[in-house]
Amino acid sequence: MSYITFLRQFAGLMDRIKLKEFGLRLKQLRIERNLTQEKLAFKGDFDRNYIGMLERGERNPSLLNLIRLSDALSIKLNELLDF
């Protein structure tokens, strides 16, 4: 394995870890507000499956979706990203 290949694989692993950390933060905030995935999805105009994929670290949300999530949770964007 070349050094470049190793670095790319390592960067990909770090990305997946960050997505999982974000997902745990989202789930924590949702549960603190007594919201189901379905209720959060409704408040943010998302598909319920999308919320589940975010919480499992399977999706990388866009900036606009992060803003919609923070609005749906009634928090500032920086609170959502504090993980």
* Greatest CA separation for the chain: 48
Measured between alpha carbons, how far is 10 from 42 in angstroms, rounded to an integer?
Answer: 36
Residue ranges per structural domain of the chain: 18-80
What is the CATH architecture assignment of 18-80?
A: Orthogonal Bundle (1.10)
pLDDT of residue 8: 84
Q: What is the pLDDT of residues 1-59, one digit of tens each?
A: 787 888 788 888 899 999 999 999 999 999 999 999 999 999 999 999 999 999 999 99
φ, ψ for residue 7 (rounded to 5)? Answer: -65, -40
Among the residues of the chain, which ranges form H helices? 3-32, 37-44, 48-55, 63-72, 77-80
Query: pTM value?
Result: 0.89
pLDDT of residue 3: 76
